[in-house]
Structure 1
Amino acid sequence: MEAAMKMKMVATAMLVIMMMSVSGMKGVAAADAPAPAPASDATIFVPTLFASIAALAFGFLF
Structure 2
Amino acid sequence: MEAMKMKMFAVALMLITTMTLTAVKGVAAADAPSPSPTSDAPFFVPTFFASLTALAFGFGLLL
TM-score normalised by structure 1 residue count: 0.59
Q: What CA distance in whole angstroms lies between the structure 2 residues aligned with 1:20 and 1:57?
A: 18
- CA displacement at 1:48 relative to structure 2: 0.1
Task: Answer yes or no: is 1:17 the counterpart of 2:11.
Answer: no
**Which one has more relative contact order, counting CA pairs under 8 Å at least 6 apart?**
1
Q: Which runs of 4+ in 1 moved over 3 A?
A: 5-11
The match for 1:28 is 27
Q: What amino acid sits opposite 1:13 in the alignment?
A: A
Identity %: 53
Give matches, 1:38-57, under 5 Å.
38-57=37-56
TM-score, structure 2 as length reference = 0.59
**CA RMSD, aligned part only?**
2.7
Q: How many residues align?
A: 59
